[in-house]
Structure 1
Amino acid sequence: MAPKSFSGQERTLIDQRLRAAAAECLERYGVRKTTVDELVRRAGIPKGTFYLFYPSKEALFFSLFIEYHNRIHQGFLVRLSQAGEQIGWREFADALLSMCQVAADTFLLPLMTEGGLELILRKLPPELVAEHQQTDDGSVELLFAQLPQLAGKDPKAYSAALRGAAMFYMHRPEIGEEHFDDALKITVYGICRELFSEDSP
């Protein structure tokens, strides 16, 4: 039996429903406990239809991760552009903290800090993962190239440092809710101050 064909509009609507279902499941159950059966039930489609769109739940989750990641990163760039060419370390840090907060309000940050993203990446073709990492590194390098204040700095080293700051969210209970926001701010401010310092690597 030939696979059912869909119009462009039908494909868009089905994909939107799958993505909405994936976001709900990631927030409620996480990667491990979400099944394709649960995804199609929430999306209201047959299981066979799912595989016309994605080869696995991990492929759907990764596609959704990229969408949210790019959306948040674009918001970060817009905020930087609004600050103008003479942006300093404080404006840069505040834009980063804003980006962290947006991510924390979605499934994205828990996915990155609680091992879900690692589970997804293990199930994906290595070339797809490598392509994403190259794109990510390239976007950081492009950002550095656009800011004269960051000329000569190593974008990969600071990208790693900022990922470390994001890992704060893994240890929120140990840090304590009362002081978490201040501790994160102190850390990000310190990184960005160093980033914009003439003596930094």
Structure 2
Amino acid sequence: MPKAFSDQERDTIRAQMREKGKKLFEKHGLKKTSVDELTEAVGISKGAFYLFFESKEELFLEILEQFEKEIQTSILDFAVKPKANARKNVSEMLGGLLLTWDAYPLLKNFSKSDFDYLVRKVPAERVMQHVSNDEAFTNELIKKIKREGITVKASPRIVSNLIKGLFFMGLHRDDLGEDAYQETMNVMIDLVAGYIVGE
């Protein structure tokens, strides 16, 4: 039976698991990284792993959400350019969201098959919690845009779905090819920004 950990040990181990897990997932991918590799990297037993996470997929999702939180914070701190029009400002916000996403190798290499695998392996209620977090971010983003004096013409539900659409397009980066993906994404971001502000 795994030994009991103090609260401090639990916090330290959980942080190490996120850090070491990030490196292993970046190197091997979600499917090919094993629980044995994760526990060996942190120096805990396989049984102890399950005191922290129900599966390696739940660890991956926690790492993913940590990255998302950092990206979302940077977007909500985005300073609009007074001389730029509303569409351009919203386009730069959305572009910043996706460009920052690309700055993390783990996220940039996250594919459609990885997404499908993750959703299949993680409990449905955990997936719904993630969806709820995404919707909360969209609501904060809309408030941010409005605070900047930009009128939002689209409903929160549509804005949320449009942002998800951009994300899902990113999962097909390999299908499009890198150059075509970047060009297409820039066009899509501009069109989505235009729809949000009603232009």
Range into which the TM-score falls when normalised by the shorter chain? 0.7 to 0.9
Aligned residue among 118, 121, 129 for 1:120: 118
Q: What TM-score results when the alignment is normalised by the length of structure 2? A: 0.82
The 1:171–1:48 alpha-carbon spacing in structure 2 relative to 1, beyond 3 Å, is closer
2:67 is matched with 68
Q: 176-185 vs 17-26, which deviates more?
A: 176-185
The 1:121–1:178 alpha-carbon spacing in structure 2 relative to 1, beyond 3 Å, is closer
2:142 is matched with 144
**Distance in 1 separating the partners of 2:169 and 2:54:** 33
The 1:150–1:141 alpha-carbon spacing in structure 2 relative to 1, beyond 3 Å, is farther
Structure 2 gap segments, 5+ residues each: none
Q: What TM-score results when the alignment is normalised by the length of structure 1? A: 0.81
Aligned with 1:5: secondary structure?
coil
Q: Is the 8 A contact 1:18 1:43 kept in 2?
A: yes
1:1-201 paired onto structure 2 within 5 Å: 3-79=2-78, 82-83=79-80, 88-106=86-104, 107-111=106-110, 113-148=111-146, 149-151=150-152, 153-173=154-174, 175-178=176-179, 180-197=181-198
Q: Is the 8 A contact 1:145 1:151 kept in 2?
A: no
How many corresponding residue pairs? Answer: 194
Structure 1 gap segments, 5+ residues each: none
The 1:177–1:66 alpha-carbon spacing in structure 2 relative to 1, beyond 3 Å, is closer
**Distance in 1 separating the partners of 2:34 and 2:130:** 24
State the shift of 1:108 in Å: 2.0
Q: Is the 8 A contact 1:22 1:39 kept in 2?
A: yes
The 1:152–1:101 alpha-carbon spacing in structure 2 relative to 1, beyond 3 Å, is closer
